[in-house]
Amino acid sequence: MVFRLTILGSSSALPTANRYPTALLLNANERFFLIDCGEGTQMQLRKYKFNFSKIDHVFISHIHGDHIFGLPGLLSTMQLLGRKKDLHIYGPAELEEYLNLYSGKQDFSEIFKIILHKTGHKRKNLIYSGKNMEVWSIPLKHRVPTTGFLFKEKSVGRNIRKEAIRKYEPGIEQIARIIEGEDIKLEDGSIIANELLTLPPWKRRSYAYISDTKYYPSIAGQILDVDLLFHESTFLSKDEKMAEKTFHSTAKQAAMTAQQANAGKLLLGHFSSRYKSLNPMLNEAKEVFENSHLVEDGDNFEIKRIREGFESGF
């Protein structure tokens, strides 16, 4: 059961020679979720050998160009590749006009449907619920309506031990009750505790994407205990006034949010091109939250599947 994040783009407003604007791809058990779509996203998808047809859900945090300018090109390529499946796009209400302008000129209506799910930005909302995954929008503080996203696996029950099946040979109905937590009673009247018959359930893995936002303490409470946190870190602390003015965060502020949320690992991205070296940014973050990392385009971060009660799955 794969749970892997790939960084497709990690720059802020301006692309650089080594970094594309923001875009990330989450592979959750071979279901692919594209998160933001900056300029050049489809080039990065090709570079890292992802199949466009497997992307059925696109999440857009806000309508600033460095987060959406790759969308028209991606949609056009999907059209040229003969896509037939519906494409679900989740984003602010303002995205509708942008999509209508483009899709109207391209006339996708006879090829594949684009279904826009308006996320809202004033409170936490459940915006997607699939077989194994749910996604919540997280309100952020930026110059335009903006949300982050929390991806979290759905809970599953305990797993019956194979050796228990061989030893006690329970029937199908009895197996169902064991998975739900019941003990079993043998013919001689003895009771076998459920803990001896089953394994603990798998821990629900989670990933939060905090896009453009000024430091906003209430974010942490909405992503508590998240395993993997990507948080924008556009500026260094020496430029905190600029961060405040432009409604962005510093690396230190991103680390503060990670600490307050009890996150497992912090990924710093969405860097301003003004900085020739990002090491000072990493140092500032680590002073607050040790498990902080600078991302590079093409990086992969995987959360391993572990049982509840065990340590981190990284």
Domains of the chain: 3-156+201-302 (3.60.15.10), 159-199 (no CATH)
User: Quick one: which H or E segment has residue 77?
Assistant: helix 71-80
Segment 139-192, tens digit of pLDDT: 999 999 999 999 999 977 677 777 877 777 777 777 777 777 777 777 777 787
The number of angstroms, rounded, from the C-alpha of 264 to the middle of its chain's C-alpha atoms is: 14
pLDDT of residue 199: 76
Which stretch of 161-165, 216-220, 281-285 has the lowest confidence by average pLDDT? 161-165
Q: What is the pTM of this model?
A: 0.88
Q: Are 150 and 135 in contact (CB under 8 A)?
A: yes
What distances in angstroms separate CA 218 from CA 121, 123, 233, one per listed residue?
14, 11, 17
pLDDT band at 120 (very low <50, low <70, confident <90, very high): confident
User: Would the pLDDT of 295 be above 90?
Assistant: yes
What is the sign, positive or negative, of the torsion defined by CA atoms of 142, 68, 87, 28?
A: negative
Active-site option among 36, 66, 212, 297: 66
Rounded to the nearest 10°, the torsion over CA 21, 252, 27, 128 is: -90
DSSP type of residue 202: B
Q: Which residue has the higher pLDDT, 9 or 101?
A: 9
DSSP string, 289-307: -SSEEE--TT-EEE----B
Report residue 272 as tokens. 């301003």
Please state, in angstroms and rounded to a whole number, the distance separating the CA atoms of residues 12 and 275: 12
Q: Which residue has the higher pLDDT, 292 or 161?
A: 292
Please state, in angstroms and rounded to a whole number, the distance separating the CA atoms of residues 104 and 106: 5
Residue 243: how many other CB atoms lie within 10 Å: 23
Residue 293: how many other CB atoms lie within 10 Å: 16
Amino acid, res. 89:
I
If you average pLDDT over each of 72-76, 113-117, 152-156, 234-238, which comes out highest? 234-238
Active site residue 297: no
